[in-house]
Structure 1
């Protein structure tokens, strides 16, 4: 896989499932790193789910202050550290988190955007705001993984901003996450159809 192929994978139409192109800045970073295909595919899937969540928040709770561009960039780069730790594309590991943040900073990405590479797995930290939680949530629900403690934090933000009872905010969030989860098999198949290594081996 060449760097030019990375750009194509990051922005071209995907067919089934339909996935929005990554932000140009994220696509360019992945191009410069000659990122593994499966990493780019994963970032496409999580970015798509983050966009769906943001669209839903804009409709259901417009009073919740979120930085749409930051969330989308965060979703599109949250695992970029796996370009340096490719073993974590197919197995467990957390080295990619801080490595990803450092990598983004080294490429001139502002700290407020680079942070998602480090915070997407630490959503229970006291400083995690709505933007961080949405990236973390997208990184779970893209494959239909439900994490009650994470969802409770999102519900608290929704209820606080929208003035709705917690139970109502929970039911509305549960409904959209269930809907998004129905596309998980197609997203997983899309990701798994791309090799872990740049040379083409699965």
Structure 2
């Protein structure tokens, strides 16, 4: 079933944001994702694309599953279709719910895990998981020191650089990304929570 007209507009509007991967759009259509959720996922996905590009350019020895990370960014909050109150307020019920929704639709664990892991990170988190979590923060200009330290440590090991060197360039990139937060927040806010 196609998305509501407003959700479709959030998906396709020329807002200087990359389009979502086609395989991520299908579950959004199937679940009739609300317009605000679609807009949010586009904003986070776009930031994740920019982070992935930056990692590939500045730390080519850091291996990560780019496709999985971008799918994860494009679907990380899909559980909010079942918990729409979390679109405009706090809550974490959407995390396990989103993972279950994706798995029930046949999405491989390699891709579905981000719905469950995007709001928590540990030293054991994969680089893909860390990048999705980071994109989900910096899209709105939120900086989280412990998350940034984990990303820095992972990239320093991969590149052989000192952590402070990695952080200096990562910090510059996160500042650059954060500078676009107002436009992304305005884009998301222009869409209603309900269809």
- TM-score tier by shorter-chain length is over 0.9
Q: Output one character per residue of 1:96-139: Cα deviation in whole Å (capped at 9) or x when no partner.
A: 00000000000110011100000001112x43110000000000
Contact preservation (8 Å) 1:66, 1:130 = yes
1:20 to 15, 18, 26: 18
Contact preservation (8 Å) 1:7, 1:30 = no
2:141 maps to: 144
Q: Once the 2 structures are TM-superposed, how far is the Cα of residue 4 of structure 1 from its aligned partner?
A: 5.4
Correspondence list, 1:22-171, <5 A: 22-124=20-122, 126-171=123-168
Question: Which residues of structure 1 form unaligned runs of 5+?
Answer: none
With the length of structure 1 as denominator, give the TM-score of the two structures.
0.93
Q: Once the 2 structures are TM-superposed, how far is the Cα of residue 13 of structure 1 from its aligned partner?
A: 4.1
Contact preservation (8 Å) 1:7, 1:28 = no
Give the distance between the partners of 1:174 and 1:43, measured in 2 at CA.
23
Contact preservation (8 Å) 1:144, 1:181 = yes
Task: State the SS of the aligned residue for 1:55.
Answer: helix
Give the distance between the partners of 1:92 and 1:116, measured in 2 at CA.
18
Question: Which residues of structure 2 form unaligned runs of 5+?
Answer: none
Q: Once the 2 structures are TM-superposed, how far is the Cα of residue 14 of structure 1 from its aligned partner?
A: 2.1
Give the distance between the partners of 1:130 and 1:152, measured in 2 at CA.
12
Give the distance between the partners of 2:117 and 2:144, measured in 1 at CA.
16
Q: Once the 2 structures are TM-superposed, how far is the Cα of residue 8 of structure 1 from its aligned partner?
A: 4.6
Contact preservation (8 Å) 1:97, 1:118 = yes
Q: Output one character per residue of 1:120-174: Cα deviation in whole Å (capped at 9) or x when no partner.
A: 01112x4311000000000000000000000000000110000101100010100
Task: State the SS of the aligned residue for 1:3.
Answer: coil
Mean Cα deviation higher: 95-104 or 25-34: 25-34
Give the distance between the partners of 2:8 and 2:34, measured in 1 at CA.
12
Give the distance between the partners of 2:63 and 2:9, measured in 1 at CA.
33
2:192 aligned with 1:195, yes or no? yes
Q: Once the 2 structures are TM-superposed, how far is the Cα of residue 9 of structure 1 from its aligned partner?
A: 2.9
Contact preservation (8 Å) 1:13, 1:21 = no
